[in-house]
Amino acid sequence: MAISTVGFVDRIVLNVLAVPIQQEFGLSDTQVGLLTGLAFAVLNVGLGIFVARLAERKRRLSLIALGTLLWSIATALCGMVGNWVHLLFARIGVGVGEAVGLPATQSVVSDYFPPERRATAMSVLMLAAPVGALIGAAGGAWVGQTYGWRTAFYVAAAPGFILAILAYLLIAEPPRGRHDPGAGDDVPSMGAVLARIFRLRSARQLLAGSTLAAMVGFALNSFVALLLVRKFGFTLVQAGLVSGLLASFPSAISVLAGGRLADWLGRSRPAAYALVPGICLLVAAPLYIFAITRENIALLLPAITLAALFQYTYLGVTYGTFQNLFHPRMRATGGAVLGAIYGLIGQGLGPLALGMLSDGLMRAGGYDGGQALAVAMALSALLYLWAGAHYLLAARHLGADLATTRAAPLSA
């Protein structure tokens, strides 16, 4: 979880540092969206799947340690760039490092916990997102304003070097599939992994819903700090602290509560693993739209906090459910395929599309920079309704699909 947190810090710190970087390099919202999204995902997609295939056969902790080292080096290089193009390539390097280091983490955690506890375990692992958001936004903003945005990248990179060593030397490699009877040692083909994702009706719906939700979440979080500075006159430190708090404490509650509730209800009704996040996403959409369109900051902040309590319940539940649907020897690959889709569509296209929409609203006239960004964020949040619908459809088939994969873990 600490390694994943550092990875998320290195990924998200640019969101708040975008304010001084945009000013120094004269960037548009579209270029900011490209830096925070697609640049990270461009090589992450294919490389993550390739490394995951190695992780099905090799020591997973070695790959995790190597990837942590690589993305930490790339994050430090972000502080040395001389222009926007250099920064673009450095961000691609961060994505490459995470492609090496992160696909195996879910596989390792799944081998430490039995199926009925995996949603909760994955929710703890997914705390990396809210904790990393707080550290990256609040800490990055303070260091960036006090010592400069380049120094903020150096500070963000430092913990990864230590954690890479600790992961390699101290974390035990758990036996694969020890909680999954009949798992065996045969490694399923790539085709079998893709078939598991796209042939199971529940898996298809979970993938569609979680991809849409990830796209909205990455897009919204990429521009919160910029909105606070642009529309409400916050300083960089104020915007970083507030955006970090918004993305951390309510999100952490949402992630943990979602996993615990799904595991509790799922004992008697497996459909709960899709119903819980689906209903929460349907509630989150109108709450967020109401919040982000407020002109009064005293109303906007608590309303966004309330929305965040529902926005992120899908994270741990979805990853835990997919791990239960996967054969133990396809979990690293399956996690990488999901990560590739979330990275390319979610983080890659989400912020870019929102930035382009904001620029388009400003060019069309009638909106200043702050208003255009707020409207673009509200329109993006509508996609939570679409995502929630996919989860409700998944609930119709999830119980039968889980039973089938447990009875025949390799052939289902």
pLDDT computed for residue 183 by the predictor: 59
Q: Which residue has the higher pLDDT, 29 or 265?
A: 265
Helix (H) or strand (E) holding 381: helix 369-381
Residues comprising the chain, all counted = 412
Convert the pLDDT of each residue in 70-128 to its tens digit.
999 999 999 999 888 898 888 888 888 887 887 788 888 888 888 888 888 888 888 88
Q: Is 338 helix (H, G, I), strand (E, B) or coil?
A: helix
- Overall average pLDDT of the 378-404 stretch: 94
Query: Considering only 18-22, 347-351, 375-379, which range has the smallest mean pLDDT?
Result: 347-351
Q: Answer whether residue 376 shows pLDDT above 90.
A: yes
Convert the pLDDT of each residue in 157-193 to its tens digit.
999 999 999 999 998 888 877 777 665 567 788 888 8
Query: Considering only 25-34, 35-44, 157-166, which range has the smallest mean pLDDT?
Result: 35-44
Coarse DSSP helix, strand, coil percentages of the chain, rounded to the nearest 5 percent: 85, 0, 15
Q: CA-to-CA distance for 324 and 273, rounded, in angstroms? A: 11
Which of 368-377, 387-396, 402-411 has maximum average pLDDT?
387-396
- This prediction has a pTM of 0.77
Q: CA-to-CA distance for 10 and 100, rounded, in angstroms? A: 15
- Of the pLDDT bands very low, low, confident and very high (cuts 50, 70, 90), residue 3 is very high
Which of 37-41, 45-49, 241-245, 284-288 has maximum average pLDDT?
284-288
pLDDT computed for residue 380 by the predictor: 95
- Overall average pLDDT of the 287-312 stretch: 93
Q: Answer whether residue 340 shows pLDDT above 90.
A: no
- Overall average pLDDT of the 285-291 stretch: 96
